[in-house]
Structure formats: structure tokens, C-alpha cells
Amino acid sequence: MHPLRLGLARVFLVCTLVGVFLGGPALRAGATPDITITCTGTITLTPDSGPAGSTVYMQATGLCIPVHSVFINFTDASGRSGTLKTVAAQEGTFSTKVRIPYHAALGTGTVSVSGVFVFRFLIYVDKGSANFDVT
């Protein structure tokens, strides 16, 4: 392809993308999001086992959105679940301390994160989980 045509094609693509993300004609008032982007983050727990009531350092990386809130949930071995806290993820990452519930059943439980953020015509979904063994 001729260099000039290739350059014009790039300019057209960039202008199209800028127009879409800045609210171009495809984004009229009342339009509903129609593209979902799911990011599965990496969750690290330290320690990854201990008694009910343990304080655990948690780190999450690889989330979609630069700045938004995510929920941290715990589901114990018996299936009981609840939200431990809500945190702000910045630059797709966060670090925090959580406390495993005192009533958590013995066995392998799951600490998970979940968050949804809607921007224009995009729906971003964050998720991730790590196991915690209640001993």
C-alpha cells in the first residue's frame, strides 16, 4: 500500500476512535452500553490460611478500570458469603487488609473481588478470587 494511503487510513482510524470515545454520533442520549469487557485480576492473600478471624493482607492487580470501587467478598466452605469491604482500585490495582469472618466454617473459603463500571457504550466487569483455608 502507498505510504500516503496508509497514513490516511491511520488518521481515519484514530479520528473514528476519538469520535467514539468522546461521544461521537454513535453515542446519542439514552443509548445503552452494548460492549462488555471482563478483566480477571490476580488476587494474592498473605497468609492464605489461618483460623476464622484472621487478618489477611490482600493485593489485586490486573483490574480493568484505572479508578473505581470494587467489593471484596468472602464465601466460606459451607457456602455462607458476605461482603468484607469496599475499596478503591487505582490504576487497576489495590492493596488492603481484610478480616476473615469469625463465624467462617472450617475448610477452603474464597476471597473474591467484583466491580462493574459503565462508561459510554462500554461495561467493564472486574473479577478475581483466591482461596483461603480456614483451619
Which amino acid does the sequence have at 131? N
Residue range 38-76, pLDDT digits in tens: 888 999 999 999 999 999 999 999 888 665 789 999 999
The predicted pLDDT at position 67 comes to: 58
pLDDT value at 129 more than 60: yes
Residue range 17-35, pLDDT digits in tens: 434 444 444 444 555 657 8
Please tell me the pTM assigned to this model: 0.72
Q: How far is CA 71 from CA 14, 85, 94, 128, in A?
A: 35, 6, 12, 11
CA gap 90, 65 in Å, rounded = 8
